[in-house]
Structure 1
Amino acid sequence: MIDQAEHSSEAGTSVELFAGGGGLAMAVHEAGFRHLLLNEFAPKACETLLANQATPWLGETHIPRQRGEKWPLKGGPVQDLEFAHLRDKVSLLAGGPPCQPFSLGGDHKGHEDERNMFPEFFRALREIQPRAFICENVRGLLRPSFRPYFDYILNELRMPFVEREGSVWEEHNEKLKGLVGIEPADHDERARRYVVSAIPVNAADYGVPQVRHRVIIVGFRMDVYAHIGDELWEEKFKPRRTHSEAALFQQLRDVKSEYWKRHKPVPKHVKQRVAASVPSVDENDEGLTLQPWRTLRDAIMGDPTRDEKPLPQDGLIDYEQHPKCVVPNHIGWPGARIYPGHTPNLLDRPAKTVKAGVHGVPGGESVVLLDDGTHRYMTVRETARVMTFPDTWVPGRNVRRGDQMRQLGNAVPVLLGKRFATAVADALRYADSVAAENDGEKEAA
């Protein structure tokens, strides 16, 4: 499933909660971490994980010693997990606590929703005390109605050892706010606190062929962060956007650009139509210095650097006449419709956000408009490409299409997750080098 040769230098160990279909788990692995434990509640998602790089959890004594080993997966409620055996063994805790309480598709119940799993993430932090963590979630957390609770989440991440004892969250938050500004008394307390950074992102800005707005929270244990500092994190390690809408628009407006050369043959009238639909770009737009946003057409064509080949497009509209496919999970599906409020994806833009709401995948969000004016559903493989899952990823054998799409919609795009996991890995390596240098100076003295 994953190129084991990549990042042969191990960055550390990791634990993944709420693993879903495996997007963030793949990202963390590709960044150089060795998974000690994965957890996922949904049985169908567990089937998918086991069909790829995971293996059933065999107990506390079974800990992978090399990154090439399969990832131990313990299915079931995260509330049933015990973490004591992992204390002082974990470099990175990663996960995206279920986002339905805060998403547009989840009824907006927020912190009052029983599906809010942030308290379990806090417990894992408290009991494992990893050197760093990555937490991904929906941008809805930043909406004004949820912002006070989001600030409370950040305070809990900063001081997870201060447990909430029956009080309402507002009272607990006041207690946390009173402690955050107090300097830690000693090294032991610094080793329990975290320096936290919340970063709003659009996945398209990081090379993902999809407009996907999320917030990624990165934290470092305070004793580790002392060797990094705000300036280095901001200027050297914190991921910056690499792609822009402006750069894409500039290429789309020029029918002789590299974009159109890359996508031969596209009918001339299609190129002209697309070029006419794109707004002009300010020549001073700093986004022009970046790479163009990747589009749905790019995703279908594939990325040669990831060993991706163009996905066949014949026979995908009429599923009944073409029930078999050469590429795994690249099968047409009937019934695609376009209607008000559900406009299709356009080939020469990043795909819309792949969704997995409580009512399933909305119709228009997974429909694509083709060059000839017809439309169809995107295949599972195309959707996986949009999520930057490798072509070696496969859903579980007994997982139906609806659940496959739901797993993808709930996932973290692999390339986005990898950018942040790599940043954390690089920062941890730097912190280790500084600590070793300081220890050497002390010995010399």
Structure 2
Amino acid sequence: MERLTVVEICAGAGGQALGLHKAGFDHVLAVEIDKNAAATLRANSEWTVAEGDVADQSVWNPSDYRGVTLLAGGVPCPPFSSAGKQLGSSDERDLFAWAVEQAEKLQPRAILLENVRGLSATRFAAYRQRILDRLSALGYVAEWRLLQAADFGVAQLRPRFVLVALRPADARYFYWPSPNKTRVSVGDALFDLMGANGWPHVEAWRARANSIGPTLVGGSKKHGGADLGPTRAKLAWRALAVDGRGVADGPPGPDWPHPDERPPRLTIPMVARLQGWSDNDSWVFTGGKTSRYRQIGNAFPPPVAQALGSSIASALRHEGIAREIPDTDSTIHDPVYRRLVDGGGYVSSAALLKVMESGSTQAHLEDKMRQILLDFELDVEVVSNGARYKIGAFRGFTGQTDHRRHDFVTNHKSKVS
């Protein structure tokens, strides 16, 4: 059986790495900028770990890994997160388009990239279309899918927007993993850990924590200590009898009151289990409590990565029944962007309105153009009967040596994660 190898970029604390390992992939390289997360990877594996900016060729050279089976990663989320400004390619931290470009250098059989739900928003339709078109030009069949971590045994709401791309011969055998039939509640997932110090009210707590939790928020280096997220998330945790204002050093003991009187806080082992690590993994997180919490909170849940890795591995081995793959030219996320690109020059407002949803007005088109302008250069020419538009260069980072991103990373290295 062919050895399945993987290069993982922005590997973090190893959630995706662990899941892919369980699915049968061997890491030939993991790249991570955060020193504590890189130390965690080294502490739990014998993988080669390159520490530093993933886009710096002094850290690693993608061409050295040409022919790897899988290129995987969870590139930075802030450019697309609804909790931020959703700057997309205008955010210096955006590495999604850059990651896609590495496929030309590595020539992997498969690609797996994941990000937050925000990338699936209308705001980024043109961005997604560009990704699909670029992968098609590189010889891949690419598909997006929004997956819920709770469908794969993870006791939290954690939607992840996932891109999988394979060569056409392999894509015919790829099927997205099927959700589990049942979901796990926070109470059931953490019952033994919450009662480990003899808390007499642990059964009452489990009865109140009878649903899946909100998304764990790892946050960034720019913000304060470890807690379970913004006010809305804390209120959702409070409804599950969990105090989200911090992370505890240990579970409640025999003298801890009833959860209605004083809800307990989660510990690092509890947070890790909610993110999908199991006791059998024996995974060690390095660094202080805040760093360990952030590493876990920012991770891709191992069970989701394992499910995706297993589906990709099956496709690469041509297991199961072959399917008809979508025609990449007909896979449209943004008809306006596609019309602008296909036009090759100026395209009239009337022509663009024809490809928009029925009932769209000039005002809708102008809103759309403002969205596209955030990620692409756009030339507007006013004519007697309206306006004409010509799309220009992509604003994002794809590997340019003179891109503004390099100065940002150099000057803010302590805050980049």
TM-score (norm 2): 0.63
1:293 counterpart (177, 183, 188): 183
CA shift in 2, pair 1:43/1:316, >3 Å:
farther
Residue 11 of structure 1 deviates from its aligned partner by 5.2
Partner of 1:74: 50
Q: Conserved in 2, the CA contact under 8 Å of 1:101 and 1:113?
A: yes
Partner of 2:133: 155
Residue 393 of structure 1 deviates from its aligned partner by 1.1
Partner of 2:66: 87
User: What is the RMSD of the two structures over their aligned residues, measured on CA atoms?
Assistant: 2.6
1:389 counterpart (249, 268, 277): 277
Q: Conserved in 2, the CA contact under 8 Å of 1:100 and 1:357?
A: no
Q: Output one character per residue of 1:220-261: Cα deviation in whole Å (capped at 9) or x when no partner.
A: 023x33xx52xx53xxx321212xxxxxxxxxxxxxxxxxxx
Residue 156 of structure 1 deviates from its aligned partner by 2.6
Residue 315 of structure 1 deviates from its aligned partner by 5.7
Q: In structure 1, what is the Cα distance between the partners aligned to 2:147 and 2:308?
A: 11
2:215 counterpart (306, 331, 353): 353
The 5 Å alignment of 1:230-241 reads 232-233=173-174, 237-241=175-179
One-letter amino acid of the counterpart of residue 278, structure 2:
P
Sequence identity percentage: 33
Q: Does residue 380 of structure 1 match 2:275?
A: no
Q: In structure 1, what is the Cα distance between the partners aligned to 2:259 and 2:295?
A: 31
Partner of 2:86: 108
Residue 120 of structure 1 deviates from its aligned partner by 2.8
Q: Secondary structure at the match of 1:311?
A: helix
Q: Conserved in 2, the CA contact under 8 Å of 1:106 and 1:357?
A: no
Q: Secondary structure at the match of 1:34?
A: strand
Q: Conserved in 1, the CA contact under 8 Å of 2:153 and 2:276?
A: no
Q: Output one character per residue of 1:314-372: Cα deviation in whole Å (capped at 9) or x when no partner.
A: 6699xxxxxxxxxxxxxxxxxxxxxxxxxxx9611112101123435426546551663
Q: Conserved in 2, the CA contact under 8 Å of 1:10 and 1:33?
A: no
Partner of 1:415: 303
Q: In structure 1, what is the Cα distance between the partners aligned to 2:307 and 2:90?
A: 32
Q: Conserved in 2, the CA contact under 8 Å of 1:199 and 1:216?
A: yes
Q: Secondary structure at the match of 1:74?
A: strand
Q: In structure 1, what is the Cα distance between the partners aligned to 2:16 and 2:184?
A: 20
Q: Secondary structure at the match of 1:216?
A: strand
Q: In structure 1, what is the Cα distance between the partners aligned to 2:264 and 2:198?
A: 8
The 5 Å alignment of 1:41-440 reads 41-53=33-45, 70-80=46-56, 81-88=60-67, 90-159=68-137, 192-222=138-168, 224-225=169-170, 228-229=171-172, 232-233=173-174, 237-242=175-180, 290=181, 292-301=182-191, 310-313=192-195, 347-358=209-220, 359=223, 361=227, 362=229, 365=233, 367=237, 369=241, 372-373=259-260, 374-391=262-279, 392-396=282-286, 399-430=287-318
Residue 155 of structure 1 deviates from its aligned partner by 2.3
Q: Conserved in 2, the CA contact under 8 Å of 1:134 and 1:217?
A: yes
Q: In structure 1, what is the Cα distance between the partners aligned to 2:47 and 2:320?
A: 25
Partner of 2:341: none
Structure 2 gaps, min length 5 = 200-206, 243-257, 323-417
CA shift in 2, pair 1:145/1:99, >3 Å:
same
One-letter amino acid of the counterpart of residue 44, structure 2:
N
CA shift in 2, pair 1:316/1:216, >3 Å:
farther
Q: In structure 2, what is the Cα distance between the partners aligned to 1:407 and 1:91?
A: 26
Q: In structure 1, what is the Cα distance between the partners aligned to 2:297 and 2:216?
A: 5
Partner of 1:245: none
Q: Conserved in 2, the CA contact under 8 Å of 1:16 and 1:25?
A: yes
One-letter amino acid of the counterpart of residue 350, structure 1:
I
Residue 421 of structure 1 deviates from its aligned partner by 0.4
Residue 158 of structure 1 deviates from its aligned partner by 3.0
CA shift in 2, pair 1:363/1:378, >3 Å:
farther
Q: Output one character per residue of 1:28-68: Cα deviation in whole Å (capped at 9) or x when no partner.
A: 11000111000001112112212211xxxxxxxxxxxxxxx
CA shift in 2, pair 1:214/1:84, >3 Å:
same
Q: In structure 1, what is the Cα distance between the partners aligned to 2:315 and 2:147?
A: 20
